[in-house]
A and B are shown apart, each in its own frame.
Chain A
Amino acid sequence: DTGVSQDPRHKITKRGQNVTFRCDPISEHNRLYWYRQTLGQGPEFLTYFQNEAQLEKSRLLSDRFSAERPKGSFSTLEIQRTEQGDSAMYLCASSFEAAGANVLTFGAGSRLTVL
């Protein structure tokens, strides 16, 4: 297993376009998290899945953001009608949730630039 993979690593798009990011977690991990990170800030929680179920979504997100995890394996994060404020690093992390051991393994991130 090569860890958590994210694709693409970099995406430049024009305002108003849709973008989709993919995350492939560690295969035996049942939890998958999406975070957004901007300069000088810590990772900001977006959403997380337990297997294929999306258990929580940040109220900070507008309806332009959607995430899926079909069959409890890879996940996609789609941003519709991108805005310049969406420019950020989008981080994916996975974990195997067990009693007291929900350690996150992060991917390298997908950096989005909206022009």
Chain B
Amino acid sequence: ILNVEQSPQSLHVQEGDSTNFTCSFPSSNFYALHWYRWETAKSPEALFVMTLNGDEKKKGRISATLNTKEGYSYLYIKGSQPEDSATYLCAFDSSASKIIFGSGTRLSIRP
């Protein structure tokens, strides 16, 4: 059974602070690791897809790292803004077949 775990489940951060959260996934049959951002009343939107151990991706104030050998990825948000409030989902893509999501980290930014 493929198990993708995210922590913490929820996070409350002061505007301007930086934050990070974790996704852990199986270290075997790895193909890719995805991060999505899901705002209330909208569809999940892709942030990053990473495939290589040691990959680092960046989009504006958001960045992600990948360690496939130990099975974890970190998502970092620098200088949080109210518009960063959303649920952040990671997803494990095993050998180019089904894509399994974690339960997400719900991020709230306090003004």
B44 close to A (CB within 8 Å): yes
Main secondary structure of the interface of A (DSSP, over half): loop
Q: Which of B4, B36, B96, B102 contacts A104 (CB 8 A)?
A: B36
B residues less than 8 Å from A45 (CB atoms): 98-101
A85 close to B (CB within 8 Å): no
Q: Which of A33, A42, A55 contacts B103 (CB 8 A)?
A: A42
The bracket for how many chain A residues form the interface is 20 to 34
Main secondary structure of the interface of B (DSSP, over half): strand
A102 and B99 contact, CB distance less than 8 A? yes
B43 and A108 contact, CB distance less than 8 A? yes
Please report the C-alpha to C-alpha distance between residue A78 and residue B33 in the assembled complex, in whole angstroms.
Answer: 30
B residues less than 8 Å from A44 (CB atoms): 101
User: B97's closest neighbor in chain A, by CB?
Assistant: A56
Chain A interface (Cβ < 8 Å from any Cβ of B): 4, 33, 35, 40-45, 48, 55-56, 91, 93, 97, 100-109
